[in-house]
Amino acid sequence: MFANLTALEDGAHTDFCIIGSGPAGLTIARKLAEAGKKVFLCEGGGEEISEESQDIYKGEVIKGEYYPLDISRLRFLGGSSNHWGGSCINFEDYDFKAKKASPRGAWPINADDLNPYKNEASEILDVKPVPESVKLDMAGDYDWVIDKISHGRLPIPQQQKYLEYLKAKQNLFVFLNSNLVDLTTDGEKIEYASFENYQSESRKIHADKFILATGGIENSRILLYNNIKNKGKLVKNSKTLGKYYMDHPLDHKAGYAGFFDHNITWNFPFELFAPQEKLLNLYEILSFSCIKDTTLKPWGSNRELADNVNKRLNKKLQGISPESITKDLSYTNLFVFPELEPVLENSIALGSNTDRFGVPRVELSIKVGESFFRTKRISCLILAKYMLEKKLGRVKLAQHILKEEPAAELEWGNHHMGGTRMAETGEWGVVDKNCLVFGQKNLYVAGSSVFPSGGANTPTYTIVQLALRLVEHLLAQRA
The CB-based long-range contact list for 345-349 (8 Å cut-off, 24+ gap) reads: 345/63, 346/64, 346/243, 346/244, 346/245, 346/246, 346/418, 347/242, 347/243, 347/244, 347/245, 347/419, 348/217, 348/220, 348/221, 348/224, 348/242, 348/243, 348/245, 348/419, 349/224, 349/242
Q: Which residues of 393-411 are buried (b: 16+ CB within 10 A; e: fewer)?
A: bbbbbbebbeeeeebeebe
> Where do the H-state alpha helices sit in 115-183?
118-125, 158-168
Q: What percent of the chain has pLDDT over 90?
A: 61
339 vs 141, residue with greater confidence: 339
The CB-based long-range contact list for 388-392 (8 Å cut-off, 24+ gap) reads: 388/318, 388/319, 389/138, 389/139, 390/138, 391/260, 392/259, 392/260, 392/261, 392/264, 392/265
pTM for the model stands at 0.90
> Where do the H-state alpha helices sit in 11-141?
23-34, 51-54, 111-114, 118-125
Of the pLDDT bands very low, low, confident and very high (cuts 50, 70, 90), residue 246 is: very high
pLDDT of 291 higher than 80: no
- Phi/psi of residue 88, nearest 5 degrees: -130, 130
Which pLDDT does position 114 carry in this prediction?
96
Cα 218–Cα 219–Cα 224 angle in degrees, nearest 5: 95
pLDDT of 368 higher than 80: yes
Q: Give the model confidence (pLDDT) of 116-131 as tens digits.
A: 999 999 899 888 777 6
> Other CB atoms closer than 10 Å to residue 426's CB: what's the count?
18
Distance (Å, rounded) from C-alpha 458 to C-alpha 463?
10
The mean of the pLDDT values for the chain is: 85
Q: Give the model confidence (pLDDT) of 451-474 as tens digits.
A: 999 998 889 999 999 999 999 999
Contact by Cβ (8 Å): 97, 170: no
Of the pLDDT bands very low, low, confident and very high (cuts 50, 70, 90), residue 150 is: low
Which domains are delineated in the chain? 2-478 (3.50.50.60)
Which pLDDT does position 133 carry in this prediction?
67
Distance (Å, rounded) from C-alpha 209 to C-alpha 292?
45
pLDDT of 307 higher than 60: no
Peptide bond into 269 cis (omega under 30): yes
